[in-house]
Structure 1
Amino acid sequence: MTSRTAADVLVIGAGPAGMLAADRLAQGGARVLLVDAGRVHTSRICPVDRGKSCHGCRGICNVISGFGGSIHYGDGVKLSRFPSGRRLAELLGAERADALTDEVLERMCGVAWPTFRRALAHSTALAVKDYPVASLNSDQVRVVINRLHARLARTERVTLRLGVEVTELQPDDQAGFIARLQAPGVDEQVAARYVVSAVGRRGQRWWATQIRRLGLAHTAPTPSVGLRFEAPLGLLRRGALVHDDFKTTLVRHGVKVKTFCFCAGPGGGRIKFTDYGDHTLLDGHVIPEAGTSQLGNFALLAQLRDEHGSPRSAEWVEEYLLRPYRSLRSDRPGKPVLQWYPDWRDKQLTCSSLEDFAQRAGHAPSLSDYQVANLAAILPNAVHTAMRAVFEELMPVFAGHPLEADQAERIAVIGLELESLWDELALSEHMETSFPGLYAAGDCTGLAQGILQAAVAGLAAADHVLATTTVPVPLGGST
């Protein structure tokens, strides 16, 4: 039998956007149902971090699902203030965006705000994006998530449901929206006057389907393919001295390439696996604790466009990137692979195992769940050529001197990474979609990535919901 409940607002996703939206809504008197497909923050363990293999966590990846979302319990994270997330700031207005950021920091951190640092002026000939960035260590992240969990647990106006997926979302003339929630032993309908979608990476495919089914106004994204370069910290440290999140964009050989998620501070960086079921992609987390790792990493992302300059479609990405990617591993198709940099540069495969790589590079990679494969072979030729040119241009900046042949031999190229897969929604300045009563916040807007940016969008959506209605929706019972 299907049970039926009701709430003023259904918030889908308990990451930064969903948590802050639920907190604000409850404070304003709304009854909120906050749901997430993942687990409680204290149970989001990634086996890869512990030297084991990625097994998908029974289909609910602990890295991209669960309470906290991208603020992964026990990892370091970066917080970037506007103008990082420029398009979101333009939508909200700069003054309002900054004010909401301050409020997010107060709700997340209390009075113990982290220290934000900007880029060093005139430190490189490259145009480095300048915005304030701060790194939280693992202890600070635990404090933030515990603080937010306690805030939500203290109020009876928020019902937190973990391990539950929203499988259907339908407009309803009387209730506003009817959502179907499912989990082992659970089949439930929820009536909600408003919905805030904050689904994050875990819900990317589901949300793309909903956008089209509901007819939400949007434009297709320009996807990017990425690779992560892992190297001894000494080869990357000068980049971190310029900016904690060194970001620059270069166009080489007609391809737009940018640096992404630079993780090479005092403690190095941690490569993360994010499992999507039939394939696993990479992410990167900073480690602020000095001396933790002797390796750092950063990603290069290359835009995917056809010969006429039009963005590649999701179907093209599946056919020409994900399908070849899944063929690279014989043991577990779709899991990340590693290639020795000289081999990647020359599009060959002379280094054929992790043991061989360790001998040639002089160190083992930070994670062990790889097979060695010809990652370069699945990239479009123009993308490979542009990435190589940008890498060879950046490394002297990061290392402080031209890259010697023996230093190039110490570098691993790891993939695959994909970014900018979200449709860009047409949103009001209150984060309302083209369907009245349906809001979006965080990555699923297609506007901006970042923890603070997602949380700011969640607050903006909640503020408008509270300003729109003063009459609570009566809570229903079970049927």
Structure 2
Amino acid sequence: MAEPEREPLDAVVIGAGPAGLFAAWSLATGGARVALLEAGGDMRQSLCPKVSVRMRGRTVRAAEKFRLQCNRCDCLTGLGGAAFHFDTNLGYVSGLSQSKIENDGRGGFRTYSGLERTLGDFGRAAASVQEVYRLMYRFGLQPPRAAEHHAAGCGTVPANAVPSSFALADDALSQAVTVDDALGMVDGLLDDALGHGLRLHLRTRAESVSRLDDGGWLVRTADAEFRARNVVVAVGKLGLGWVRGLLDQNAVAYRPSGRVDVGVRLETTRELAAPLTASCQNPKFTFLNEGGEAVRTFCVCEGGRIMQYAFQDTVVLDGQHCLTTPTERTNFGIVTSVEVPPGGDGTQHALDFGRRATTAGRGLPVVQPLIELLGRGSCADRPGTSLVRVCWTDLNPVLGPRRVADIAAMVDRLEEVAPGLVGPRTVVAAPVVERLFPAIELSGDMESSAPGLYFVGDCSSKIIGVTYGASTGLAAAAAVLRG
């Protein structure tokens, strides 16, 4: 094992997804001595080992059509993280909106932004998102043309445009980005950071993070050690188990998550879903169920596909935008922010949900026609789905009556917007799980109760998403630079 350097680094960043990349760039260009550790390889190398990708300079032909045929995608590591390995939607171009709701305890609801709560102030959160976009445009992302967004506005959909049964409908302006665009942008950001002294270590997995006697930190990999005054943990969902161990080993203050998102992905024809995406690319519709839990649409992928990947001992679904090779289908999540009873653990609740689906599907996603799930009819022929290997079976035992009721209430509301959605051409696929990490106690700068140890992006337990993740990376970096 290589000897650690005599002079500690200012910071080690673990994980090169959006949060880690922006944190490392900000630290390096701010004059810090920083190392970025990424378990995967270069972005081009990690796109997909099963497809021959043609390269022309910085342009890579879209591979997601082939990659999504994998039974379980296992190439979600690498520069850019899972976020930039597919065409995706970044969100919030014109301004941050409060697109989430929760029970206010008085029979009503309140709206909020996850990033607002994470950073402690709405103005700060909105400014941070704008800074992320400014940097993305600087490094090669092309600003959107108004026509690409169906002349959408920013904020909430006019009250007369959606059924009154929704507590909130949000059509905040979004920005799409293709894999080709992301490659160029990541190249530009990394070139600038490397030019300012960033030490990039690919195919280097952090095995442990421990406190040193002098108050600094020691990060161990299989063949090296890094001493640093600060550590920024920026691993994605796949790092859940490792992060839970890290928290316990370093006595970081946290509690079991009390709220977790579980649900399904609904897939139908692009034609039937068109009214839902007429105002913007990723509309968000939300209501409170009878238990006061928020039920919402999530990650609308117009002309997209559903992908599956291995997570812990389960299979998990996600939606993918296919901007360069669109399909004739649209899919989106329907998730419930489940309030876990006192003494419960949201992480365990979500994993158990995923395991029920994986068991029912014998290792494959479980798919069922929507009308059969709701008991409103049967399909002589199975509806089409972008998933290739699935198990067609009854989802009721997997979801349970409360989640089925949430899905029914959501699609009945959406039926008023998109007539025909509840019909023989719509399928439901499970499982979908989000926001799995324990509730870590963090400052508005993303610092944990262990001084100098920061958690950003997905693993912060506070937010998910590209722009949100990048914003938290910038916040942590700014705190480290202030010393």
Under a length normalisation based on structure 2, what TM-score does the superposition of the two structures give? 0.82
Q: Structure 1 residues 131, 327: CA separation in 2 closer, same or farther (over 3 Å shift)?
A: same
> 2:129 matched to 1:101?
yes
Instruction: State the partner residue of 2:103.
Output: none
Tell me whether 1:71 sits opposite 2:71 in the alignment. no
Deviation at 1:120, TM superposition (A): 4.2
Structure 1 residue aligned with 2:451: 436
1:346 to 2:383 alignment? no
Matches of 1:280 and 1:241, distance apart in 2: 32
How many residues get paired?
436
Residue number among 14, 22, 25 corresponding to 2:24 in the alignment: 22
**Residue identity matched to 1:106:** R
Alpha-carbon distance change, 377 to 206 in structure 1, aligned in 2, over 3 angstroms: same
Match of 2:406 in 1: 386
**Which residue does 1:477 correspond to in 2?**
none
Q: Please, which of 426, 448, 451 is the counterpart of residue 411 of structure 1?
A: 426
1:454 to 456, 466, 469: 469
Which of 113, 119, 141 is residue 86 of structure 1 equivalent to?
113
- CA deviation digits over 1:290-322, x for unaligned, max 9? x8211001111123346x677654334444x23
Q: Report the counterpart of residue 163 of structure 1 in structure 2.
A: 203
Kept in 2, the 8 Å contact 1:252–1:390? The answer is no
Is 1:131 matched up with 2:177? Answer: no
Give the AA of the match of 1:174: D
Deviation at 1:150, TM superposition (A): 2.6
Q: Which residue among 262, 265, 286 is the counterpart of 1:225?
A: 262
Is 1:38 the counterpart of 2:40? The answer is yes
Q: Secondary structure at the match of 2:295?
A: strand
SS in 2 for 1:338: strand
SS in 1 for 2:90: strand
Matched, 1:241 2:278: yes
CA deviations on 1:229-257 (whole Å, 9 max, x unpaired) are: 11001211111123322112222343531
1:388 deviates by 1.7
What is the CA-CA distance between 1:200 and the residue it aligns to?
A: 1.6
Deviations, residues 33-59 of structure 1 (Å, cap 9, x unaligned) = 1112222111223468416753656xx
| Amino acid in structure 1 at the alignment position of 2:178 | N
SS at match of 2:252: coil
SS across alignment from 1:455: helix
Deviation at 1:269, TM superposition (A): 1.8
Q: Which residue identity lines up with residue 73 of structure 1 in the other structure? A: H
Which of 287, 294, 314 lines up with 1:256 in the alignment?
294
Contact 1:270 1:286 in 2 (8 A): yes
Amino acid at match of 1:114: P
Q: 1:323, 1:76 → 2: CA distance?
A: 27
CA distance in 2, matches of 1:336, 1:280: 7
Percentage identity across aligned positions? Answer: 27
State the Cα distance separating 1:392 from its structure 2 match: 2.0
Instruction: Give the gaps of 5 or more residues in structure 1.
Output: 469-479
Once the two structures are TM-superposed, the CA of residue 24 in structure 1 deviates from its matched residue by 0.9
**1:139-194 C-alpha deviation (Å, 9 max, x unpaired):** 43333223223323433x21112222112111112260111113xxxx22211110
2:162 & 2:228 partners in 1: Cα distance? 52
Opposite residue 270 of structure 1, the aligned amino acid is R
Equivalent-residue separation in structure 1 for 2:82 and 2:232 (angstroms) = 17
Amino acid at match of 1:20: F
What's the CA shift for 1:462?
0.8
On the 8 A contact 1:71/1:77 being kept in 2, the answer is no
Question: Would you say the 8 A contact 2:263–2:403 is kept in 1?
Answer: no
Shift of 1:261: 0.7
RMSD: 2.8
SS in 2 for 1:173: coil
Alignment partner of 1:365 out of 378, 385, 389: 385
Contact 2:350 2:433 in 1 (8 A): no
Q: Secondary structure at the match of 2:80?
A: coil
Which among 75, 86, 89 is matched to residue 62 of structure 1? 75
* 1: CA distance, partners of 2:126 / 2:339: 34
Letter in 2 for 1:220: P
Shift in alpha-carbon separation, 1:438–1:286, aligned structure 2, 3 A: same
Alignment of 1:292-331 (within 5 A): 292-305=326-339, 312-319=345-352, 321-330=353-362
- Letter in structure 2 aligned against 1:340: P
CA distance in 2, matches of 1:175, 1:379: 47
Q: Distance in 1 between matches of 2:368 and 2:330?
A: 16
Determine the C-alpha separation between the residues in 2 that align with 1:251 and 1:466: 42
Deviates more, 1:40-49 or 1:421-430: 40-49
Change (3 A) 1:75 1:167: same
Q: In the superposition, relative to structure 1, how do residues 274 and 323 fare at CA in structure 2: closer, same or farther (>3 Å)? A: closer
Q: Secondary structure at the match of 2:249?
A: helix
Mark the CA change 1:121 to 1:466 in structure 2 (over 3 Å): closer, same or farther.
Answer: same
* Paired letter, 1:293: T
Spell out the pairing of 1:144-163 with structure 2 (5 A cutoff): 144-155=185-196, 157-163=197-203
- Partners of 2:194 and 2:471 in 1: CA distance: 21
8 Å Cα contact 1:82/1:89 also seen in 2: no
Distance (whole Å) between structure 1 residues aligned to residue 410 and residue 72 of structure 2: 33
Q: Is the 8 A contact 2:39 2:202 kept in 1?
A: yes
Partner SS for 1:215: coil
C-alpha offsets along residues 57-88 of structure 1, whole Å, 9 cap, x if unaligned? 6xxx323x211014323523333352358243
Partners of 2:296 and 2:361 lie apart in 1 by 27
Q: For the residues of structure 1 that align with 2:414 and 2:68, how far apart are their CA atoms?
A: 33
Partner residue of 1:114 out of 140, 144, 158: 144
Is the counterpart of residue 195 in structure 1 residue 231 in structure 2?
A: yes
Question: Do 2:27 and 2:481's aligned partners in 1 also have CA atoms closer than 8 Å?
Answer: yes
